[in-house]
Structure 1
Amino acid sequence: MVRIGTDMNLIENIREAFRSVRTNLLRTVLTAMIIAIGITSLVGMLTAIDAMKAQIEESLSGFGANNFDVRSRGFSGGRATTAGVAQKNYPAISFREAEAFKEKFNQRGISTITTSVTGSAEVSRGSKKTNPNSRIIGGDENYFLIKGIALEKGRSFSNVEIQYGNNVCVIGTEIQSTLFEDGENPVNQHLTFFGRRYTIVGVMERQGGVGGDTGPDRAIIIPILNARNLDQRGTFRYTITVAGQDPLKLEYEMGQATGIMRAVREDGIGMDDSFEVVKSQTLGERLEEIAGFLRIGGFGIGFITLLGAAIGLMNIMLVSVTERTREIGIRKAMGATPKWIRQQFLIEAIVICVMGGLLGVVMGIGIGNLVGNTVGPGGFLVPWVWIIFAFVVCVVVGLVSGLLPAYKASRLDPIESLRYE
């Protein structure tokens, strides 16, 4: 009997909350709009980030998605330790070994040999000079194809230039803007670094970077044999990047590459690999990392907006308690307990929040997809995770915002309330 009575009181409180919402329609709409703006901000930002990420991933699909690197062991630098014991130090992959691997792997797929010559070169052209932070990278005829880098002007290296290691180069956009005037074509012009004169045969498209890093745009690519000739002390590390043929067979292809490199390096049976075969970091993985930071920022801004909305809702509910003091007194005089009064105001606050949340979710999805699709044409994204999250937030905001007004209403004295005008 008690449970039935409790259920009836809950149903009655829900009905009373909806009656109050209909009675004070203007106030409800204005309050719901406060919540809607907060939810729009939260869902809109997160939807826009996911939509932009989806569009960029679609446009960049295939760039490095199936690539893996064959590189010297301990590539990151320093000698690795396990339980305080230094591991064996293996010799770096030499240029001849890299070439031998590439020649043998050509029967299965394409690969490119690269090496980092320096990250602190000063490049000059006449009286103009760059800062001593230009990157010089050695690459072969497959470098731009496998790395997914398009050329804005000019061409890639020819087979003759690769074979003989000619003094030619492909430059980044920052090198172009520093050494050349606006509108001046750098192709077939000359620049100098390491005391050598190089002919520019191409300019890479702008690549940009994360956190203001423009490293990819201040890079200069030279033929791999030319880079090898700059290695006076024999300390350069050569990396082979392989373009996998089938993403479902990537592990198999990595195994094939391991077998070929073990033969090239003459690693004996039972010996550990004297090199590493690792999956390349794809553009999608880097994009996901960037999107993660953007989500944190978007969530922070949306949370601050919702906090303001919650304070506004609490203020309106407190005013509502004052306006309905006589009504509360009548309910108490008719036998309503403080618990029922608290329940009524909490339900009312939650109803208003959910109404605002519904509007906010619709507006957020619309605005988010509109912003996201400005990156490129694509489909319509419905972020179910953020929708569920938004409604959970609405209920929490309603509970928190309605708690103080509900407590205040439940504490009112029924006799004093009936006298209130």
Structure 2
Amino acid sequence: MNLIENIREALNSVKVNLLRTILTGAIIAIGISSLVGMLTAIDGIKTQIAESFSGLGANSFDIRNKGYSGGRAIQQGVTEKTYPKITFRETQAFKSEYSAIGSATVYTRVTGAAEIKRGSKKTDPNSRITGGDENYLNIKAMKIENGRNFSNLEVEYGNNVCVVGTEIISTLFEPNEDPINQKITVFGRPYVIVGVLEEQGGVGQDQGADRQVIIPIENASRLDRNGNFNYNITALSSDGTKIEYDMGQATEIMRKIRQDRVTMEDSFDLTKSQSVAESLEEVAGYLRMGGFGIGFITLLGASIGLMNIMLVSVTERTREIGVRKALGATPLRIRQQFLLEAIMICILGGILGVILGIAIGNLISLVIGVGGFLVPWLWMFVAFLICIIVGLLSGYIPAKKASKMDPIESLRYE
């Protein structure tokens, strides 16, 4: 009896015990689907978030307050020197000097809990108000669906104009009503809508990007009566291959504007936008580890169930094993037969599990708000590899038991 015959016998055994094969395969399929499903959902969510940052590009960097808060910079549990916040005038001076190297945008978040009004209609008090300049939409990869961007004069003089998200429009305007050049009220002040952003969506129930109002940065600075706003800068390198050089130039410009002494460290933080993607990948790695751990526990239960089924199968086929041994089958061939049966059952269950896992993972992503369809080729390969390993581990003990049976005693078994 050679290996080819063993494969044929294993297939025949799977067909004969079809119901048992289906039920056992279903156990494996549940384990694999939970593993592939969670990992697919995690990758789908990661892809959506990564796309949100992709517009910043690999050739952009941010300049913010030291410690990202303007307060005390804290490193390794030690409270360091307190640095003053970056002021609006300092950001404008940087933008002006950096224009000889590349483009930059100055922006600030005014509030995330504003109520926008138009006549008798008003939004919930959860709208975002952001101050930005003429470069803000381009550098942050936001597209205008209707209308236009701010003009240079509107930004320079801080006119009462705004660009709004689609949710603001759907709340305050009728479906067929043109919002361009219409007025809305923000903080009790009238603003003229000059542009409407494309729908951006969000993850889960957070659709904040579509309920934002962007006003000129000069106009926003007038609302900063107590000096509490944090003014941030995102700058683009003129060439992606020389970003380190441009970051050095930007640091020199900002140190001069901030009057940092030669012996002093930078009184601001400068970070690559690429570091956001690196942090995102790190978080996604932890999520994958958690998902893999949960899937492993499920597969462990499935492998125990498969081993139990195979042990029952060995007991039921004692006489068959005796006949094979009497006809000259070696212990190696007997082990091969039962191991092949276990692996085949696992692979059949794995195929079903992968299909269910991809469907479940993409369905979860769709419910959360992530668009597109993801096929996780890596996790499919890992799933099939796990199926073979589970088949080997679950089938080894039953196969070893079968190979050690005495042929005479086996033939007497009733």
- Give the shorter-chain TM-score range: 0.7 to 0.9
Over 3 Å counting, the alpha-carbon distance change for 1:219 and 1:392 in structure 2 is: same
Secondary structure at the residue paired with 2:209? helix
Name the structure 1 match of 2:261: 268
Matches within 5 A, 1:353-392: 353=345, 356=348, 383=377, 385-386=378-379, 388-392=381-385
* Partner Cα separation in structure 1 for residue 174 and residue 339 of structure 2: 68
Alignment check: 8 A CA contact 2:32 2:350 kept: no
Q: For residue 251 of structure 1, what is the amino acid of its counterpart?
A: E
Name the structure 2 match of 1:131: 124
Name the structure 1 match of 2:183: 190
* Partner Cα separation in structure 2 for residue 58 and residue 122 of structure 1: 29
Unaligned runs of 5+ in 1: 1-11
Secondary structure at the residue paired with 1:74? helix
Alignment check: 8 A CA contact 1:13 1:347 kept: no
Q: For residue 13 of structure 2, what is the amino acid of its counterpart?
A: N
Is 2:80 the partner of 1:87?
A: yes
Name the structure 2 match of 1:352: 344
Matches within 5 A, 1:234-253: 234-253=227-246
- Deviation at residue 72 of structure 1 after TM alignment: 1.7
Matches within 5 A, 1:146-165: 146-165=139-158
- Deviation at residue 347 of structure 1 after TM alignment: 2.5
Matches within 5 A, 1:212-231: 212-231=205-224
Alignment check: 8 A CA contact 2:107 2:130 kept: yes
Aligned with residue 99 of structure 2, among 80, 85, 106: 106
Name the structure 2 match of 1:97: 90
- Deviation at residue 391 of structure 1 after TM alignment: 4.0
Alignment check: 8 A CA contact 2:10 2:341 kept: no
Is 2:12 the partner of 1:20?
A: no
Is 2:104 the partner of 1:115?
A: no
Root-mean-square deviation over aligned CA pairs: 4.5
* Partner Cα separation in structure 2 for residue 249 and residue 165 of structure 1: 34
Secondary structure at the residue paired with 1:245? coil
Q: Deviations over 1:25-56 (max 9, x none)?
A: 62488849937956984668867976997799
* Partner Cα separation in structure 1 for residue 248 and residue 8 of structure 2: 70
- Deviation at residue 130 of structure 1 after TM alignment: 2.0
Name the structure 2 match of 1:34: 25
Alignment check: 8 A CA contact 1:47 1:365 kept: yes
- Deviation at residue 205 of structure 1 after TM alignment: 1.5
Q: Deviations over 1:372-405 (max 9, x none)?
A: 9x9779xx9883x435523431232113432553
* Partner Cα separation in structure 2 for residue 412 and residue 356 of structure 1: 28
* Partner Cα separation in structure 2 for residue 301 and residue 320 of structure 1: 29
Over 3 Å counting, the alpha-carbon distance change for 1:177 and 1:22 in structure 2 is: closer
Secondary structure at the residue paired with 2:266? coil
* Partner Cα separation in structure 2 for residue 342 and residue 77 of structure 1: 73
Question: In percent, how many aligned pairs have the same letter?
Answer: 56
* Partner Cα separation in structure 2 for residue 240 and residue 59 of structure 1: 18
Over 3 Å counting, the alpha-carbon distance change for 1:58 and 1:409 in structure 2 is: same
Alignment check: 8 A CA contact 1:21 1:28 kept: no
Alignment check: 8 A CA contact 1:349 1:399 kept: no
* Partner Cα separation in structure 1 for residue 70 and residue 78 of structure 2: 17
* Partner Cα separation in structure 1 for residue 16 and residue 157 of structure 2: 80
Secondary structure at the residue paired with 2:72? coil
